[in-house]
Structure 1
Amino acid sequence: MFKTFTLKLIFITLLVSNAIFSQVTKDLPNYFPVSPNAASFAKEGLFPVDYSTGKINISIPLYTIKTKELTVPIDINYNSAGIQLDELASWVGLGWNLNAGGAVIRNVKGIPDTGTGVPDISNLAFTAVNYDNLYNQYDPYKFNAIDTAYDEFIINAPGLSGTFYFVNNKAVFKDLQNTMVKTSVTNNQLLTNTSTLEITKSDGTVYRFGQGLDGYNANETVHNTSGTFKPDYITSWYLTEIIPANSKSINDIISFKYKLLDNTHDYAIIVGEKIIDNNISASNSPVLASIFPEKTNSSNKQFLTSINFSNGIIEFTSSLNRQDLVDDYKLDQISIYSLKGTLKTLVQEYGFVYDYYTRYGGYTTSTYSTTSDPYDYNAQRNINSRNKSLKLTQIVNNILNVKHIFEYENTQLPLRGTTKKDFWGYINANTGNLSPPTRVDRISGDIRNNYSTTAGNGNRSANETLMKSGILQKITFPEGGYSVFEYEANRYIENVTIPTIVSKNATVVVYGTGCNANYGPSTNSTVFTPTNYVLGSGKLNITFTAATQESNIGNTNVKYDTETFGRPAPLTIGGSYTYAREFNNTSHTLSAAEYRSGSIGAYGCPVTSITASWQESSGSTTTPTVKYVGGLRIKSVKSYDGKNTNSVTTKQYLYENENPLVKEGNGSYVRGVFAGDNASYDILPVFSTSAVLDNNTGSSPAVTYGKVTEIDADIINSKNNGKIEYYYENIALSRLFDINAGNLPKVFKSPQYIQSGGVNQPFETTLNYLSFTFFKNDMWNQGSLIKKNIYKTGIEPNTYKIVNSMVNQYTILKQSSLSYNIVFNNFPTPIFPNDHPETFNLPYSQGSDFHSGILYYAVGQTSQGKKALTNTIETDYDNNEVATTQKTTTYGYENPLHNQVTKTEIINSKNEALKTQLSYPQDLVATNQTTEMQKLIDQNKIDKPIKTETFVNNVQTSESITKYEESSATGMLLLPKEIHSSKGSVETFPFSDANRKINFTLYDTDVVNGVTLGNGNVLEYSLENGTPVSIIWGYNKTQPIAKIENATYSQVSAYVANLQSISNTGNELDLISAMNTLRASIPNAMITTYTYIPLVGVSTITDPKGNKTSYTYDTAGRLQFVKDKDGNILSENQYNYKQ
């Protein structure tokens, strides 16, 4: 596998005897190249694994852009968790993603953020204002839109990732990282049409998303095409520039360009199911229908075309000829060019080869009527998107004519949008509805009208075999070797208890006048008390026979506790009724009274009875049961060299201590709503099913694992080479409210409202049938490595001996939460805001109250927090597994303004205490460098320590401090000007010249459009002994071409322009000749010179004695030869690809 060859740029070590000075040389810029090593090839099959979730990182590196400060890797990676049924293929194929550039993606929660925030509804008083606020959250597009939750903004860019919310015009990151976000709107608001996001990392690097510095627009916007007013809003801001922290020169910016595909539409699929008529009864069973999108929104899409950087450009060639997604490009080629003046030279190139998954089969609950709209569900473009998916089969290196080949599991994928998916969206064996069997109820004030049944017949459980459909199984590498991936379903072990069931009952029977036994009017009662009652098993069976006459003593009836059930009318008919009741483990009374007469039936008189039946558990059997959850985990990775049938290396993975986060059963929910406009109406079910129901668990894996063992298996020799055990901290998701947790939403009503009797239902009755759940997502706190044990193979087969262990401890430095409001209607047509204002008049009158009980609400939470490592204990063991050495490292976080490590203490095996104290700009802002420190804070350059102190057993041994300056000498940039260090004694502000070790005398500038801008290149610095060192920059000021020791920059400045001009546009021989002229002109200086092949590497290094070392590369940019000044080969590298 080809891995782009890049040179490590390190500063040539300054030969000084002072040990303290050697500690600060790391603060010098890393400019000069040393001799490059041979181009390295990534070892085949060694793919990193996210052990706590079971995902393997399958990634193919293509190229890495490296400038003075910035690194942008370009690769293509595969999602090993499996293919979700409704997933759309990206422009590099189903399951694959090209990492080149980046974006900020808006995940809308509620309505698109408008900068107004989310109101606090945790404890609402009964006022007109609060009702209006609730209503406008329930139906935000009807009147005055009020948001219910903060949108999520997800960042993915080179060296930058995270999720943030925009609260009070400030970004709040889920992990509370020190990243700053600025918008293009006044007061730093983030609105629906905010065009630019400028995000600054904690090292000061600036990422621009959306609108570029040149006005180029790289946003994706959704345009509402439905009849309802909804605002257009930006969904994605694409990366336009990365600006280094220490340069304002346009030459140092990496920029990204895109092409626009305008007026595109979604690819419609079924989004869920609902009951057609929820007025269910014994004569009207629930019938389900598919939910089709009402109208697809139009949007514009952006596709990357080029990345521009100093001395190079990468071009992305794509075509609009896909068989699956007609409004999307597929990537055909990536070409990397070096630029030297007007000369454009191809350095590397990759071609992408595709096929298609042909999909077939699957069930839909209902069909869709065709219309003339070309973007409707049955339009050919949408049918194509459901029938096919782009499949990547090869990546071809066009320079070397070698390739990566990808092979996939061959089970045919079902059609997108069908019901063949589990609760998590992965393919399963479902042949029924999308809805799993779900109980739905009709609740009436008259218990005899209650009705319970089941809606849905779908099987949404995970299927391990079908979950693997179409998954990547094999990669063949250019060298001829290949890797084979084996997967298994995520799972957990649950102790399933099966009770031993016993049926029980209690009956009361009463007889009327005229019976054979000469019974007269009679009453009777009994008390029963279930033990170990089985939930859901309780029933009341009530029977009234017919009669001819009712006495004047009373009305015939039966009672269950305080509930009364009267006989049917007229007398001449009888009836039998069954009602569900939960008896629990409490005492209940059954009673009956029969006052009727008539020679009827077998007894010759009327008979009335009531029977309570239920089930009790008389014991149970508990069995550990495997439960599958959505998504795959890696089981093994086998790597072959292409020459032998047995694998060269095999990694096997075992998982324990499962932590299921999203269990089976979250595919649908039911709640109740009154059938009419008051509580005297029956309560009918509102039923909802979606492909993947997100109860604030969307960014969570389905399961995490507390222990994962990686075994290094030697298949050829039938033995293992050792193993590594990883232990992770499992954090369960917190359920914020649901009926089983006893934490229900609140009904908005007057505290003076009194529920009337009769057949009226309390407003809260609907909540008893609410199955909706909501979780507090704490993923920032999840998956911390708490222990790692490394073992070698023991003497006996399948035995191991521990070699090393590491134990970590953590603390939560900070945590917070944001409100996520949820508002439901209790009635089918809620009262509009401002209707019936008399409701809220004082004194309160229930007769004028039209708003109580109309809505109910709850407050969920999204969680943020900062978790930090506080302690690490590392232990080594001998052959007898006895600890030999131990090192304890403690980390301190003493400033909550930045929450960075300020103190590190190490207790080594000699019991010595080694402490390092670090100070950052926020720690030093009150010193004599207040202005400079505050500017660093303002520019978010806060992750680098300014001051470092070291101690041994609490005795200070050294200290170093960096002095910053913004002046003409630094190109008007805030840059390090001096580095001071001392041995033992403490130096404080102001600085002492006696302790100055390095003085950066002069930095470079560029003139762009008549404006002078600093670029951060050091032109001259002096050492402690006063010796000046000058640097000349070439190749558009991206590489140092000469290092001149014992000469100031003013002494060499006359030669600079010519050397830079030749390096920018001329040839290497001319440049070497010109640098030899420089060498001869300053005989007292020690001069080292460098030439380069742009985007490939160093070409020559000539030392102060004039000895030249040359480096030769092949057409793919791989190092072939290293030769000395006489042309003798010092080293040679050979590359053998399989053709």
Structure 2
Amino acid sequence: MKNKILLMIAITFSYSLYAQDKKFDISLKSPDASQISKSTDMPSSTYTGVISSNIPIYNIKIDNESFPITINYHASGVKVKEVASKVGLGWSLSIGNTSLSKQIFGEEDRGWVPNIPMDENYFTPNDLQSTSYALAASITGFNQDTGNQDLYATKRDTQPDIFSYSVNGVSGEFHYDHTGKIIQIPYQKVKIENVFKITDDKGVIYNFIGGNSVRNLGGSTPTPQDIQVTDYVIESIVYPSGKKIMFEYDPISYGYLSNYTKKYSYPIQDCQTTLGNSDASAQDEYDEYPTYSEVLKEFILRKITFPEGEININYSTREDIVDGKKISSIEIKDKNQRLIQNYQFNQSYFISTEQIDVLNYSNQTSSLMKKLKLNELVETIENKKYQFQYNEDMPLPNRFSNATDYLGYYNGQSSNTGIEYVEYNNQIYGLGDNKEPNINFAKQGSLNRIKYPTGGSMDIEYENDSFYFNDYEKKISKNKLIVSNTDPMQTISSQTTQTQINFKVKFLSTINPQDDGSGSLPVGPHFVGEILDANNTVVKTFLVVKDYDFLLPAQSYKVRVRKSGSVPSSEYASLELEWFDVQNPLKDYDKNVGGIRIKKIVKKDSDNTNALIQNYKYVLENNRTSGEYLGDKINYYYISTSPYGTFGNSCSRLVITNSGNANLTSINGKPVAYKRVITEVENTSGTENYKTIDYFTNYPSSNFTFAGQPFFLYANNQYARGILNKKEFYNSANNLVEKQEFDYEFDYKLNEQSADYLYSPELTIQPYVLNIIAVTLDTPTTFPYYKASFQYYRYSINSSWVKLKTQKNTRYLNNQSIATTSNYFYDTTYKHLNPTSLIINTPDSSQKTIYQYAHEKGNQKLINANIIGIPLETEVKKDNKTISKSETKYDDPANLFPTSVLSYDLQNPTVASTEVTYDRYDEKGNLLQYTTKDGIPVAIVWGYNKTQPIAKVEGITYDQLTSTVPVSGIVTASDNDAADPAQESLLLDALNSFRKQSALSGKLISTYTYDPLIGVTSITPPSGVRQTYTYDPANRLKETGVRGKNSAGSYINKKMSENKYNYKP
């Protein structure tokens, strides 16, 4: 199928003077950032009905911290306008779950959001003499000399952009207040600084830089302010030890069509000047335009460097974005450029059969018909292959297809035009799109099977999201009736709830006169078209051939075409009637609105047996859906008010658009979520049969929405949603065996740090949108010449610290229950968000654990480094008696490393003894020497380019060791082994010689060898009996052994254990 889109842009004088209406034209993130943001906006959980499948690439380990590189699939469905990431549709490359992106609301913030008083009495933008007027003019760019908005003026946006971040398992959002202070949503254990540095509570620093520069073109005159930054990339990660992970990027540029807007505009207010001149814009208007996202610069990740090696990401050209790139392979190399793993991305495309040509963008036609698809991920060194299958019962639609449901998912309605019906003031507008969801179409393009390298598989089945609906539901249907002179009288039985019916009638006749404007009526034999009421009284007569448009009271009617006089049988006449029925009944049912959720997951072994089946049921106890609709009311229309003329008049228009408030972005999350979900687990072998029931919190947005608001709102209270407050476990007999209950408190105290905080505790800021709705021309002798009239809307952004207060675990056995309750207590001065004490109560005892952190111990050095989440002192009391107490010291002002560990005498808790001291570190943070409680020093030698310990000697200091024994030999041998694994035997010889040094006689010596990026290969303890470790091609531990002698007295390696890896459901 091939469609032509012509740009019929009807721009009138009144529109050209003012900034284009931006309702729903929200600035989109890049395809990759949009995919990554889904994990924050729609976290994988039974609460959202979404799962995330992660395929591991490599796990970087530094200082006991993991930084996993994976590709992730987010099973939330595919929207028609969605553009695939560089991995493939639905997939993203996850760099340690670390990301930062920005959703622009209104215009991009260039400076902080201007502050206007909360109290309406103190903000008077329509008072020409007030400071409020000058602020409003500055915000909107109103030029008092010309009466227009200056497109090139430096305007100040009034809607804060929302940043989404994720670091080290912590995710959330933040925005700026009007002074430039960063306000978190919700408040987390991270420190966020400009621009942008995020530090977790262990002191790990994540440094981000701007990752792109995009200009969206279409629908308005380009200005310098159209260039925006929506994505940020991680530049470096710095650990307290000084170790780093560095990221290198290549800049690329490309462009793609990101959206196509259609708008029908209908005047709903008498737009006339005070002089009575008719407004030329007071006509129905149609406007359509593509949005071309010109990516002036985007940084694509090329290389990750870490202490033990590097990861290289390679790209090739893709077909669904002109000049765009896709990931073709990922290589993991050690520090000596030895290839450890090599992942090849085998990709193709979802191809649509629907061709849409956009005028002036013929080079984009093919790309609009394609979406990048990941078929396989192959690790070539060991031929480890992941294979992916998708729902492809039918081709995906074109990215600009109109066949979408309310949320923008495919619904198969190929006759849609993009404009739905809207009732306003008893009139019907629009073209009548069918937006009803259809799971058979909505699931197309979604992942339905993963086949693992072991031969095992996972199948995914989807169903439509649903929510409980109890409200009036408006349905608009178009009716058509054709009655000819040969037909009997027909009856119209309208079921509309309107007070009037709008009839559009076409009267055709071969004998009646045509409408020529003279008003002449038929002469001689002719046909008469008639509409009669229930009493057979004629209420409308049709004698002249033309189109008619009129209103009649809502009731039943009869229609006929009769002869007047002796009309020859060869003559013909008909009435073609169209009218709308509007029904608005009170409905109570489980409603589908669009979107998909997980219905079933089936996991199988390599021989397709021993399947584990997981069924998901999103129901309440009464078997009704547990889904709730939490988003804005879905609508595809709004009221646009703009100035007309210069006499203080406004013109209001009803605008119906194809770009609704839910089908472009996931910034406001999934609109449907579930407060009770049952997971039934069944193993076909009968060994596992149980179910769990999850209960979640659900809080709707507190922002009111109405048709008159010409802007896209941020849905607040998202932090309060999806919190697990109860989980129940049932056995195969359906008996409750365990229940976990969680009680959280929403603490709003930290909102007071916002400069925009005033009276409402949950508010961090009340943004607003300011519009010019009228312009008045003063007399020429008055300055300024033009005065604007302003209208503004406020909405709220809330935040909180989500504080766990109580956790109760109850186990049930033989009609008995045993409950354990954990109560958490926090610092009342809000210095940090960690629990300062934990009280665990059981039926038999009570135990209290008291924690002290950097703030409580007054360690300013750690506070400055944000190492505020590590307990420095822990004391445990049972039945109010101290049973243990320990403290970790950080006393060295030169670094952030622990210096000693103390324990306290239980009989005299004020008396401490030293358990261990950490005496010396190298420049990379590696521990070189520690001293035990008994005063015995232990020296450690680091090799493999100072990444791994290769020798530990007890009973000697590090200085004594290095001054009496040549350690450089084993260090050099280990570096050589890192470069060439075949050199390990030489390292073992060097370590054996090291152990035999006379200066180390009587010392306890342990030595170690490794395969860098894989694992330890041997450990030789003081006994001298070497333990060996071998790995399979997937770098997993295969065997362990010990070095011993055979019957002939020769050394051999004896196998001690063997691991076999099979896919387990």
Give, in angstroms, the shift of residue 241 of structure 1: 1.4
Q: Distance in 2 between matches of 1:837 and 1:65?
A: 73
> Aligned partner of 1:129: which letter?
T
Give, in angstroms, the shift of residue 1094 of structure 1: 0.6
- TM-score where L is the length of structure 1: 0.71
Residues 798-813 of structure 1: pairs in structure 2 closer than 5 A: 800-813=734-747
CA contact 1:721–1:792 (8 Å) conserved in 2: yes
CA contact 1:272–1:690 (8 Å) conserved in 2: yes
**1:658 is the counterpart of 2:627:** yes
Give, in angstroms, the shift of residue 89 of structure 1: 1.1
Q: Which residue, 260, 271, 276 being the options, matches 1:270?
A: 260
Q: Which residue, 990, 995, 1003 being the options, matches 2:921?
A: 1003
> Aligned partner of 2:857: which letter?
L
Counterparts in 2 of 1:178 and 1:70: CA distance versus 1, 3 Å: same
> Aligned partner of 1:649: which letter?
L
Q: Which residue, 830, 835, 839 being the options, matches 1:905?
A: 839
Q: Which residue, 801, 819, 824 being the options, matches 2:771?
A: 824
Give, in angstroms, the shift of residue 906 of structure 1: 0.3
**1:783 is the counterpart of 2:722:** yes
Give, in angstroms, the shift of residue 871 of structure 1: 0.6
Partner of 1:924: 857
Q: Which residue, 160, 171, 189 being the options, matches 1:161?
A: 171
Q: Distance in 2 between matches of 1:166 and 1:683?
A: 33
**1:347 is the counterpart of 2:340:** yes
**1:301 is the counterpart of 2:265:** no
Q: Distance in 2 between matches of 1:74 and 1:1045?
A: 37
Partner of 2:881: 955
Secondary structure, counterpart of 1:258 in structure 2: strand
Secondary structure, counterpart of 1:344 in structure 2: coil
Partner of 2:690: 722
CA contact 2:639–2:653 (8 Å) conserved in 1: no
Counterparts in 2 of 1:137 and 1:398: CA distance versus 1, 3 Å: same
Secondary structure, counterpart of 1:336 in structure 2: strand
Give, in angstroms, the shift of residue 258 of structure 1: 1.9
Bigger shift: 286-295 or 85-94? Answer: 286-295
Q: Which residue, 957, 972, 992 being the options, matches 1:1076?
A: 992
Counterparts in 2 of 1:712 and 1:681: CA distance versus 1, 3 Å: closer
**1:1107 is the counterpart of 2:989:** no
Give, in angstroms, the shift of residue 323 of structure 1: 1.8
Secondary structure, counterpart of 1:1128 in structure 2: strand
Give, in angstroms, the shift of residue 839 of structure 1: 8.8
CA contact 1:958–1:985 (8 Å) conserved in 2: no
Residues 662-1061 of structure 1: pairs in structure 2 closer than 5 A: 662=631, 665-673=634-642, 675-678=644-647, 683-693=652-662, 698-715=667-684, 721-738=689-706, 774=713, 776-794=715-733, 800-814=734-748, 815-827=762-774, 830=775, 851=787, 854-880=789-815, 882-883=816-817, 885-895=818-828, 896-910=830-844, 912-925=845-858, 933-967=859-893, 972-984=894-906, 994-1005=912-923, 1015-1054=924-963, 1055-1061=966-972
> Aligned partner of 2:173: which letter?
T
Deviation per residue, 1:920-972 (Å, 9 max, x gap) = 222232xxxxxxx11211111111112222222223333222222234xxxx2
Deviation per residue, 1:734-770 (Å, 9 max, x gap) = 133537xxxxxxxxxxxxxxxxxxxxxxxxxxxxx66
Partner of 2:612: 649
Deviation per residue, 1:264-306 (Å, 9 max, x gap) = 2232531342428888999999756353146643421222222
Q: Distance in 1 between matches of 2:155 and 2:282?
A: 37
Counterparts in 2 of 1:421 and 1:958: CA distance versus 1, 3 Å: same
Q: Distance in 2 between matches of 1:276 and 1:679?
A: 21
Counterparts in 2 of 1:986 and 1:178: CA distance versus 1, 3 Å: farther
- TM-score where L is the length of structure 2: 0.75
Deviation per residue, 1:550-600 (Å, 9 max, x gap) = xxxxxxxxxxxxxxxxxxxxxxxxxx997999xxxxxxxxxxxxxxxxxxx
Residues 553-572 of structure 1: pairs in structure 2 closer than 5 A: none
**1:1094 is the counterpart of 2:1012:** yes
Counterparts in 2 of 1:677 and 1:1022: CA distance versus 1, 3 Å: same
Give, in angstroms, the shift of residue 1104 of structure 1: 0.3
Residues 599-678 of structure 1: pairs in structure 2 closer than 5 A: 624-644=588-608, 648-656=611-619, 657-662=626-631, 665-673=634-642, 675-678=644-647
**1:467 is the counterpart of 2:442:** yes
Secondary structure, counterpart of 1:1058 in structure 2: helix
Partner of 2:557: none
CA contact 2:186–2:800 (8 Å) conserved in 1: yes
Q: Which residue, 159, 170, 182 being the options, matches 1:149?
A: 159
Partner of 1:479: 454
**1:488 is the counterpart of 2:463:** yes
CA contact 2:408–2:664 (8 Å) conserved in 1: no
> Aligned partner of 1:490: which letter?
D
Identity among equivalent pairs (%): 27
Give, in angstroms, the shift of residue 76 of structure 1: 1.1
Partner of 2:516: none
CA contact 2:81–2:664 (8 Å) conserved in 1: no
Give, in angstroms, the shift of residue 1075 of structure 1: 2.6
**What do you get for the CA RMSD once the two structures are aligned?**
3.6
Bigger shift: 1018-1027 or 656-665? Answer: 656-665
Q: Distance in 2 between matches of 1:1125 and 1:704?
A: 58
Counterparts in 2 of 1:436 and 1:498: CA distance versus 1, 3 Å: closer
Give, in angstroms, the shift of residue 206 of structure 1: 0.9
Structure 1: where are the runs of 5+ without partners?
1-47, 184-189, 191-196, 211-217, 371-377, 442-450, 500-533, 542-575, 582-614, 740-768, 795-799, 841-847, 926-932, 1006-1014
Q: Distance in 1 between matches of 2:408 and 2:358?
A: 22
Counterparts in 2 of 1:286 and 1:641: CA distance versus 1, 3 Å: farther
Secondary structure, counterpart of 2:79 in structure 1: coil
Give, in angstroms, the shift of residue 319 of structure 1: 1.0
Deviation per residue, 1:504-542 (Å, 9 max, x gap) = xxxxxxxxxxxxxxxxxxxxxxxxxxxxxx98648999x
**1:61 is the counterpart of 2:56:** yes
Q: Distance in 2 between matches of 1:819 and 1:663?
A: 18
Give, in angstroms, the shift of residue 86 of structure 1: 0.7
Q: Distance in 2 between matches of 1:793 and 1:146?
A: 62
Partner of 2:192: 181
Counterparts in 2 of 1:1065 and 1:697: CA distance versus 1, 3 Å: closer
Counterparts in 2 of 1:694 and 1:734: CA distance versus 1, 3 Å: farther
Number of residue equivalences: 866
Q: Distance in 2 between matches of 1:688 and 1:623?
A: 27
Q: Distance in 2 between matches of 1:461 and 1:121?
A: 43
Partner of 1:610: none
Residues 515-530 of structure 1: pairs in structure 2 closer than 5 A: none
Q: Distance in 2 between matches of 1:632 and 1:675?
A: 45
Q: Which residue, 74, 77, 98 being the options, matches 2:72?
A: 77
Partner of 2:567: none
Q: Distance in 1 between matches of 2:665 and 2:260?
A: 22
CA contact 2:679–2:691 (8 Å) conserved in 1: yes
Partner of 1:105: 101
Give, in angstroms, the shift of residue 131 of structure 1: 2.1
> Aligned partner of 2:303: which letter?
S
Residues 1060-1071 of structure 1: pairs in structure 2 closer than 5 A: 1060-1066=971-977, 1067-1071=983-987
Q: Distance in 1 between matches of 2:655 and 2:464?
A: 33
Secondary structure, counterpart of 2:51 in structure 1: strand
CA contact 1:462–1:630 (8 Å) conserved in 2: yes
Partner of 1:37: none
> Aligned partner of 2:190: which letter?
T
> Aligned partner of 2:942: which letter?
W
> Aligned partner of 1:415: which letter?
N
**1:397 is the counterpart of 2:376:** no
